[in-house]
Structure formats: C-alpha cells, structure tokens
Amino acid sequence: MSYTVGILGAGKIGEALAMGIMARGLVPAGQIILSVRSERHRAELEARSGIRAVVDNAIVAAEADTLILAVKPKSVSDLIAEVAPLLGPGKLLISTAAGVSLELLESCAPEGTPVIRTMPNMAVGIGEGMTVLSPGRFVKSEQLEWATSLFRAVGRAIVLEEEHMDAVTGLSGSGPAYVYIIIESLSDGGVKLGLPRDVATELAAQTVLGAARNVLLTGEHPAKLKDQVTTPAGVTIDGILELEAGRLRVTLINAVVKAAERSRQLLHRLH
Ligand SMILES: NC(=O)c1ccc[n+]([C@@H]2O[C@H](COP(=O)([O-])OP(=O)(O)OC[C@H]3O[C@@H](n4cnc5c(N)ncnc54)[C@H](OP(=O)(O)O)[C@@H]3O)[C@@H](O)[C@H]2O)c1
C-alpha cells in the first residue's frame, strides 16, 4: 500500500515527521506535500527539507490520500472545516493534535471519513519516535496498518484504545522534555566534579541511551536491570539513596500525572 502523504501545518512535529518518513524511504520526497500559513515559512521549509511546500491547504487535501493534521489543537476544527469538501471515505485523516478527541475530529469531517488520532513525540525526526495510534469508527484495518507503518518508519508505534491518550500524552508525548532535564542534571553532576561540559553531556546521554536500549532489548523489568548494576555496599547504591531522598520517583510519576491532567483539560476546553 502506498499513498501520497500531505502534512497540513508542517511546524515542529510535522516537519520532523516528514523528514523521518522521507529519510527512511517509506515515502519518496515527491510523494510528500506540506502546508504552512506564511510564505516566508513555506520558502524556508521547502529549502531546508527538499519537500514541496504550499500555503494552500486545499492543494494538499486534493493531492494527498493520507492527510496528517499537525496544527495546534485550537486550529484543528477550523482546518478540517476548510478542507472538508475534499474529505471522505477515500482520504485517511491522521491527527497529531494533543487532546483533540476522535469524536471532535469525526464531527468536523464528512460522515464516513476515516480518522486516526495519534500522539507522536519529537524523536520521530531522528527515527526514534514513540507514537500511539487510536483509530476512529470508519478506519479499515489496512488503513490502520498503513498509518502504523508510517510511524514505525520513524520509531516505535503501537495501537491503543483512545481512553489511554491522556496518559500517553503525559508520558511519551511530553517525556522527551523530562529526559532532557535528567540528562542535563547528570551532566551538571559531572561538571561539578570537574568534567568538561561536552564530555559530561556525552557520558550522560549515552548512559540514558544504553539503559533505555537495554530495557527495550531485554524486556526485563527496569528494577531487575537496576539490581544488576547495584553491587552490595558498592558505589551505585549510595547514588540511589540520594535519588530516593530527593524523591525522584515520586517527582517523575507526578510529572506524568500532571501532564496527563492538562491534556484532559485541553480536551474539555476544545469540546
Ligand atoms: N511538538 C511536540 O513535541 C508534539 C508532540 C506530539 C504532538 N504534538 C502536536 O502536534 C501539533 C503541532 O505541534 P507543533 O509543536 O509542531 O506546533 P508548531 O511548531 O506551531 O506547528 C504548527 C504549524 O502549523 C502551521 N499552521 C497553523 N495554522 C495553519 C493553517 N490554518 N494552515 C496551514 N498551516 C497552519 C504553522 O505554520 P506557520 O509557521 O506558517 O504559522 C506551524 O508551522 C499540535 O497539535 C501538538 O499538540 C506536538
């Protein structure tokens, strides 16, 4: 299955997605088309990405079979209304907007339009994204497979019931920001002990990457992997004691919960 992919609102996430999909060779550059609002942004985007960009959403909606909606949540309904005459059962509409429900998306589009709500994260731009997809009422299995394969080309992708989307938003959607803070803080620790900043940041980032890969590759519980590197009466347990005293676990759990709550509030404001 192959489609022309249109990205309506190619800002940070839309451009990252387009670059990732193109780089992985799933869809050639000539079968991707982007839209933005301003001519200046359009020209910069086209020069930077090598992908055709326009300021007319109708062109994208007419030419593409798969439409990825990547504007801010508050702009979603207006944008769908703008291209609605071009939508229908033959156009797959994929939304990346945080907190915008399938119900709202389907209500803005003509009856029968297949709609998929997604929550990707910024790492799609480097092929290491985490995306969760929830299909609407009119999505056929091959359309869901195609959409999943698009996001698998730029990282991991799984399908979940929509009820989990707020949790997903608080965890993998916002999560890169939390992990950047963790990396920066680990790096600060190295700098405090005299390491040059660039060395400390490389050590911190590769340590996070290695630990994350180990969790995904082995499928082991993180606690078991933690125990494997924590020698009795050794060095690491002293570091862990400080993390516990600083309530790192509770802080991270609360960060996910708070961000999920905010995602839920956003949904209520949009409805
Ligand atoms: N950033 C993330 O990490 C992330 C993660 C998951 C999901 N999301 C979701 O992805 C969506 C986009 O987020 P973002 O961070 O990529 O925002 P962004 O950088 O502001 O991108 C939005 C883009 O949409 C364009 N746009 C706005 N109105 C338009 C219209 N009527 N027609 C065509 N283009 C229009 C803007 O173009 P101009 O620049 O020309 O105005 C802008 O480039 C949001 O709904 C967000 O919830 C973001």
Q: How crowded is the C-beta side of 111, counted as CA atoms within 13 Å?
A: 0
Domain span holding position 43: 5-163
Q: Tell me the CATH number at 232.
A: 1.10.3730.10
Which residues have C-beta atoms less than 6 Å from ligand 1?
8-9, 11-14, 35-38, 41, 57, 70-73, 75, 79, 96-98, 119-122, 173
State in Å: Cα 12 to ligand 1 middle: 6
Checking phi first, is residue 8 left (phi over 0); if not, alpha (psi -120 to 50) or beta? beta
Q: Give domain status of residue 156, yes or no.
A: yes
Pocket test for ligand 1, best of 8, 15, 37 (most atoms within 8 A of CB): 37
The residue whose C-alpha atom lies closest to atom 18 belonging to ligand 1 is: 11
Nearest CA to ligand 1 atom 9: 97
Using most ligand atoms within 8 A of CB, pick from 36, 59, 108 the residue to mutate for ligand 1.
36
Domain boundary among 139, 163, 187: 163
203 and 114 within one domain: no
Final residue before a domain boundary, out of 104, 132, 163 = 163
| Atom 45 of ligand 1, nearest CA residue | 97
99 alpha carbon to ligand 1 midpoint, in Å?
14
pLDDT score of 2: 59
**pLDDT value at residue 1:** 54
State the distance from the centre of ligand 1 to the C-alpha of 185, rounded, in angstroms: 29
Give the whole-angstrom CA distance, residue 168 versus residue 23: 26
146 and 183 assigned to the same domain: no
- Ligand 1 centroid to Cα of residue 188, in Å, is 32
**pLDDT score recorded for residue 125:** 86
Give the residue from 128, 163, 198 where a domain finishes: 163
If the chain, 271 residues long, is cut into consecutive pieces of 10 residues, what is the mean pLDDT of each piece?
88 93 90 97 96 97 97 95 95 94 96 97 92 98 96 96 96 97 98 98 98 98 97 97 98 97 80 63
In a domain? residue 15: yes
Question: Is there a domain that residue 168 lies in?
Answer: no
Asked whether residue 127 is domain-assigned, the answer is yes
Q: Is residue 192 situated within a structural domain?
A: yes
Q: Are both 27 and 74 inside the same structural domain?
A: yes
The pLDDT assigned to 147 comes to 96
Domains in the chain, number: 2
Domain co-membership, 127 together with 206: no
- Residue 18 has a CB neighbour count (10 Å cut-off) of 28
Six token digits for residue 258: 């708070």
Question: Which residue stretches of 90-235 are H helix?
Answer: 102-108, 141-152, 165-168, 175-192, 197-218, 222-228
Residue 112 zone, left/alpha/beta (φ > 0; ψ -120 to 50; rest): left
Q: What is the dihedral of CA 202, 205, 208, 209, to 10 degrees?
A: -90
Distance 159 CA to ligand 1 centre (A): 23
Q: In the prediction, which pLDDT does 77 show?
A: 94
CATH number at residue 23: 3.40.50.720
State the closest ligand 1 atom to the C-alpha of 13, by its place in the atom list counted from 1. 16
Q: Are residues 147 and 221 in the same domain?
A: no
